[in-house]
């Protein structure tokens, strides 16, 4: 039987992985901690796990009478800033006046401290399925070390391939030249339509090129014998869009099945480029084949923030620095409403607990303003009022406190959805 000493390191590794992806619902839902903490029946297992981990970190906050220079405070700050705030090791090391090597040692101690707390508070030693849940993961880890998964290969590409300044029209022309033999084999004529002066994009060129090659190859097989149109244009909210369309040939299930993995790879590669790929599902002969790609370009996206806390505004400004989002913020509701009119923001973020005109009233006024009717509105508050915010007209909601990763992910989704709406 596997001893506790053998299972504990696996638990610590699962804990580290969950904390590192604390704001990634897909990753959290796959975590073994969901089963260990008996969260499978929760309506949102990812949120439930996130809340469990956040509460565990908060439970390890030292009492007020503990001297601030005690090491237990340092361990708590490491857990909070590294995982709740999702700050990098360099940022936390600078804040705590530690070297990277010292921080890594202290982070290991902090994680073990948190793991011991969870192990005891969740009574995992008595968990009836502890061995069956954790033991298979051990052998799976060994197998993964031998055979890199698609995710591991893409992670390697993300780390090794530099981001470069490229022009989409040049990339498309180059890819079409490369694929000429494929188009000739499938009796495909291609027609490329490019908007003048397309904004440049900052991407990993290797990922973008392979994604386009995979997609256009699949399109050639799907539409063999028919013309294929490729259109590229700039949309508002800082996106370039590519539309690939044609008429489907006679259904050819073997080809569709053969290229199913190519589609998965293409989707993941466009995600590496901070973009998206959508393909219409209809595979009947004579139907329209249509693939829609969106990629962020270098144009700045104006974000207007209303929050009565200067520290929160400063934090958001720091989160948005060196991104495609341009920060404008204020603590005054009246000034915010004037700025909505004067600045024409692409997206607004509203706090609701404000003196004078509160955020709910501001939300109503924005939604009634013709000039702001299509602007995404994100309500940001410490209160659990997501459903109320959406009912009153917000397009999204984020609970405080939030990390930089969570904020940028939300903004990407909001401006991405807006960019794909028919104009």
pLDDT band at 286 (very low <50, low <70, confident <90, very high): low
Choose one of 264, 296, 328: the last residue of a domain.
296
Q: Which CATH number goes with the domain that contains 313?
A: 3.40.50.2300
Q: Which residue range(s) make up the domain with 63?
A: 4-147
Domain shared by 229 and 182, yes or no = yes
134-145 b/e (C-beta count within 10 Å ≥ 16 → b): beebeeeeeeee
Q: Among 42-51, 141-150, 217-226, 310-319, which stretch is predicted with the lowest mean pLDDT?
A: 141-150
Q: What is the pLDDT of residue 190?
A: 93
Q: What is the pLDDT of residue 422?
A: 40
Please give the Cα distance from 119 to 326 (Å, whole number): 44
Binning the chain into helix, strand and coil, the percentages to the nearest 5 are 55, 15, 30
Q: Alpha carbon 410 to chain centroid distance?
A: 7
Q: What is the pLDDT of residue 144?
A: 45
Domain shared by 16 and 133, yes or no = yes
In a domain, 121, yes or no: yes
Choose one of 95, 119, 147: the last residue of a domain.
147
Domain shared by 244 and 330, yes or no = no
Q: What is the pLDDT of residue 57?
A: 93
Q: What is the pLDDT of residue 114?
A: 92
Q: Does the predicted model carry a pTM greater than 0.75?
A: no
Please give the Cα distance from 293 to 416 (Å, whole number): 11
Q: What percent of the chain has pLDDT over 70?
A: 85
* Beta bridge mates, 290: 245
Domain shared by 75 and 183, yes or no = no
In a domain, 159, yes or no: no
Q: Alpha carbon 192 to chain centroid distance?
A: 31
Classified as helix, coil or strand, 295 is strand
Q: Among 27-41, 45-59, 151-165, which stretch is predicted with the lowest mean pLDDT?
A: 151-165
Domain shared by 263 and 309, yes or no = no
Q: Which long-range contacts (CB under 8 A, 24 or more apart) does 284-288 make?
A: 284/248, 284/251, 285/248, 285/249, 285/250, 285/251, 286/247, 286/248, 287/247, 287/248, 288/245, 288/246, 288/247, 288/248
Cβ-based burial of 31 (10 A; exposed 0-12, middle 13-18, buried ≥19): buried
| Per-residue pLDDT at 257 exceeds 60 | no
In a domain, 154, yes or no: no
Left if phi > 0, otherwise alpha if psi is -120 to 50, otherwise beta: which for 234? Answer: beta
Q: Please name which of 248, 175, 242 lies closest in space to residue 420, comparing C-alpha atoms.
A: 242
Classified as helix, coil or strand, 421 is coil
Choose one of 296, 313, 338: the last residue of a domain.
296
- Can you tell me which residue has the tokens 């997501």? 386
How many distinct structural domains can be found in the chain?
Answer: 3
194 CB contacts (<8 Å, ≥6 apart)?
Answer: 169, 172, 231, 232, 233
In a domain, 156, yes or no: no
Question: What is the layout of strands, in order, in the sheet containing 301-306?
Answer: 325-330, 301-306, 347-350, 377-381, 396-399
Domain shared by 132 and 37, yes or no = yes
Domain shared by 209 and 337, yes or no = no
Domain shared by 291 and 168, yes or no = yes
In a domain, 239, yes or no: yes
Domain shared by 310 and 290, yes or no = no
Question: What backbone phi and psi angles, to 5 degrees, belong to 276?
Answer: -135, 160
In a domain, 158, yes or no: no
Q: Please name which of 154, 156, 175, 173 lies closest in space to residue 269, comparing C-alpha atoms.
A: 154
Please give the Cα distance from 106 to 71 (Å, whole number): 9
pLDDT band at 138 (very low <50, low <70, confident <90, very high): very low
> Are the CB atoms for 154 and 272 separated by under 8 Å?
yes
In a domain, 391, yes or no: yes
326 sits in which H/E element: strand 325-330
Domain shared by 312 and 290, yes or no = no
Domain shared by 137 and 15, yes or no = yes
Q: Which CATH number goes with the domain that contains 243?
A: 3.30.565.10
The pLDDT of 126-141, averaged and rounded, is 63
Q: What is the pLDDT of residue 111?
A: 92
In a domain, 157, yes or no: no
Domain shared by 279 and 341, yes or no = no
């Amino acid at each position: 039987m596997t001893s506790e000493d053998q299972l504990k390191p696996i638990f610590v590794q699962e804990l580290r992985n969950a904390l590192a992806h604390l704001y990634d619902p897909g990753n959290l839902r796959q975590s073994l901690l969901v089963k260990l903490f008996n969260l499978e029946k929760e309506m949102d297992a990812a949120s439930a796990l996130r809340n469990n981990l956040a509460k565990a970190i908060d439970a390890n906050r030292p009492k007020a009478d503990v001297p601030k220079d005690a090491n237990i405070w340092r361990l708590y700050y490491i857990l909070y800033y590294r995982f709740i705030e999702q700050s990098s090791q360099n940022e936390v090391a600078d804040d705590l006046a530690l070297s990277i090597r010292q921080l890594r040692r202290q982070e290991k101690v902090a994680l073990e401290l948190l793991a011991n707390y969870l192990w005891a508070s969740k009574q995992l030693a008595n968990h009836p399925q502890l061995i069956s849940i954790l033991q298979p993961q051990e052998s799976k880890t060994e197998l993964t070390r031998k055979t890199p998964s698609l995710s591991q290969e893409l992670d390697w590409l993300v780390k090794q391939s530099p981001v470069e300044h490229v022009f989409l029209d040049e990339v498309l022309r180059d890819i079409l030249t490369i694929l000429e033999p494929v188009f000739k084999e499938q009796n495909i004529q291609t027609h490329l339509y490019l908007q003048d002066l397309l904004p440049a994009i900052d991407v990993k060129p290797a990922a973008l090129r392979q994604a386009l090659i995979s997609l256009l190859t699949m399109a050639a097989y799907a539409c063999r014998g028919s013309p294929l149109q490729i259109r590229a244009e700039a949309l508002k909210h800082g996106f370039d869009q590519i539309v690939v369309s044609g008429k489907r040939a006679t259904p050819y299930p073997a080809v569709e099945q053969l290229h199913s993995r190519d589609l998965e790879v293409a989707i993941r590669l466009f995600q590496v480029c901070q973009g998206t790929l959508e393909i219409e599902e209809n595979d009947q002969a004579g139907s329209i084949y249509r693939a829609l790609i969106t990629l962020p370009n270098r144009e700045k996206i104006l974000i207007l923030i209303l929050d009565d806390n200067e520290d929160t505004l400063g934090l958001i400004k720091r989160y948005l620095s060196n991104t495609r989002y341009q920060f404008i913020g204020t603590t005054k509701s009246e000034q915010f409403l004037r700025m909505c009119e004067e600045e024409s923001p692409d997206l607004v973020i509203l706090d609701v607990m404000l003196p004078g005109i509160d955020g709910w009233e501001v939300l109503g006024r924005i939604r009634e303003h013709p000039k702001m009717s299509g602007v995404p509105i994100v309500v940001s508050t410490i209160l659990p009022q997501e459903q109320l915010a959406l009912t009153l007209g917000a397009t999204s909601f984020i609970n405080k406190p939030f990390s930089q990763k969570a904020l940028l992910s939300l903004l990407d989704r909001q401006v991405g959805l807006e960019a794909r709406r028919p104009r």
